[in-house]
Amino acid sequence: MLRPPGPLTWHLARTATPAAWEVPSVGSASRASSRTAVGQHVSRVSAALRSLLASGLALLLRSPLRRRKLEIQYSRPSCAPSASYAYSVLAFYLVHPVKAPQEEALQHKAWCRSRGLLGRVWVSSRGLNVQISGKTEDCERYADFVARRFRTCRGPLVCKIDPVPEPAFPRLRVKAKQLVSLHPELAEQVDMTDRGEDLEPEEWRRKLQGLSMGEPGKVLDVRNDYEWDLGHFAHAERPSTEQLRAMTAESMGLQSEDQETPLYMYCTGGIRCEFMGAALRQRGFKKVYKLKGGIQHYGNTVGAEEWKGRLFVFDRRNSISVGPEGRAEPQWCSTCGSRVAEEFWNCGNMDCNRCMVTCRECLRSLDGVCCKGCMRAARRLPATWRGMNGGLNNMQAHFAYGMIYSQPYIAK
């Protein structure tokens, strides 16, 4: 007796030999109706299979493994000082497992050397932190190099790129080392897969405005205290610890009842918040928000709104403006309180080395140190390094232990 075969063989059989089983026979009415039902069933199944295949293929094409490189999102100053500058400072980071940090670092070192890039590249098992400087096209090529190596990373790679008249670093340092040092109490068992939520600069601005209207939340400056002195967001209190690695939940004024409080944290480029965010999440703080791309990206995207002063940077520029130059509310000198302070200095007493944001007049009257006591100290930096002649500030002097610049950096 002729019986309709199973769905798949039936489909093949029908196309191959339709006559073989479509021969009408006595009492075939019920068989014909069952054939129609089977036919409908089969076409449904094959349609489902086809769509499954198509979506699978689309997924495969979009999968990180197939991707040629990680997407790059460039963040540039809205008012570039000059488009004619041939050099740039490039800053970005990646949070992604690195199997062999030492070997990875060697690859980056070789690449940067071959293009004459200067600056620092830190590689750890948890990712990458980069601040480099060189010819603009070489900076972009380096970002491409990284985007190809880390194509399976979740993107995009936010690259802050600022045009500068000359390289902003004196040498190249590429090392396998810890990316961010937290207090041992916070650094324990940090799970980098749970770091809190990113806020786009515009969302961040709205949240800060919400705080002004009385919405609940705390703004946390996840930087060193002297960075806050040079400039900070409205609502952010000055860190009570001198350095990030001394910061604890307690020092940030967080108590157990803050576990439900929205915490808005920010830092220069974003990486310090990634680690601090993870640490706080693991300590039970539920609403952790991080400013995506850091202050720099905020300035490039939103501008100076809600920001006061300038932004401290770890290169020879010392500080940069957030948003267009001169738009942010100024920061006053921490010594006299009456003049604008736009630079940061280390106390010229090498045994003190305190970071301070002081106007040049105050610096001169204190002979390049932080206080009367330090004026009498035995081990003081040479006068030029104390910022007394030629305007070589101490951040630059700091770099100058290995190299003295012939020209002070003047932002044009």
Position 37: which residue type? Answer: A
Q: Looking at beta carbons only, is 266 or 345 nearer to Zn ion?
A: 345
Q: Which residues contact 372 (CB under 8 A, 6 or more apart)?
A: 366
Residues 279-338 close enough to bind Zn ion by CB under 5 A: 333, 335-336
Q: How far is the CB of 332 from Zn ion (least distance, A)?
A: 8
- Say how many residues touch Zn ion, by CB under 5 A: 12
Decide: is 355 part of the binding site for Zn ion (CB under 5 A). Answer: no
Q: Looking at beta carbons only, is 325 or 367 nearer to Zn ion?
A: 367
The DSSP annotation for 86-112 comes to: SEEEEEEEEE---S-HHHHHHHHHHHH
Q: Which one of 62-70, 174-182, 254-262, 357-365 is the stretch in contact with Zn ion (CB under 5 A)?
A: 357-365
Q: Which one of 62-70, 205-213, 258-266, 351-359 is the stretch in contact with Zn ion (CB under 5 A)?
A: 351-359
User: Residue 398 half-sphere exposure, CB side, CA atoms within 13 Å?
Assistant: 16
Greatest C-alpha distance within the chain? 119
Decide: is 360 part of the binding site for Zn ion (CB under 5 A). Answer: no
The rounded Cα 62 to chain-centroid distance in angstroms is 24
124 forms bridges with which residues in the sheet?
127
Is 362 an active-site residue?
no
Q: Which one of 70-78, 113-121, 127-135, 360-368 is the stretch in contact with Zn ion (CB under 5 A)?
A: 360-368
Q: Which residues contact 391 (CB under 8 A, 6 or more apart)?
A: 408, 410
Structure tokens at 103: 């070997």
Q: Looking at beta carbons only, is 77 or 348 nearer to Zn ion?
A: 348
Question: Cis link prior to 170 (omega < 30° from 0)?
Answer: no
Residue from 291, 304, 311, 374 binding Zn ion (CB under 5 A): 374
Decide: is 349 part of the binding site for Zn ion (CB under 5 A). Answer: yes
Q: Looking at beta carbons only, is 228 or 264 nearer to Zn ion?
A: 228
Decide: is 354 part of the binding site for Zn ion (CB under 5 A). Answer: yes
Fill in the per-residue mask, 244 to 273: x = in contact with Zn ion (CB under 5 A), - = not in contact: ------------------------------
d(C-alpha 178, C-alpha 7), whole Å: 59
Catalytic residue among 153, 267, 370, 374: 267
d(C-alpha 44, C-alpha 48), whole Å: 6
Decide: is 359 part of the binding site for Zn ion (CB under 5 A). Answer: yes
d(C-alpha 312, C-alpha 318), whole Å: 6
Decide: is 161 part of the binding site for Zn ion (CB under 5 A). Answer: no
What is the SS3 assignment for 185? helix
Decide: is 347 part of the binding site for Zn ion (CB under 5 A). Answer: yes
Using the structure block, give the residue that is written with the tokens 């009408």. 24
User: Which positions lie near Zn ion, rule CB under 5 A?
Assistant: 333, 335-336, 339, 347, 349, 352, 354, 359, 362, 370, 374
Catalytic annotation, residues: 267
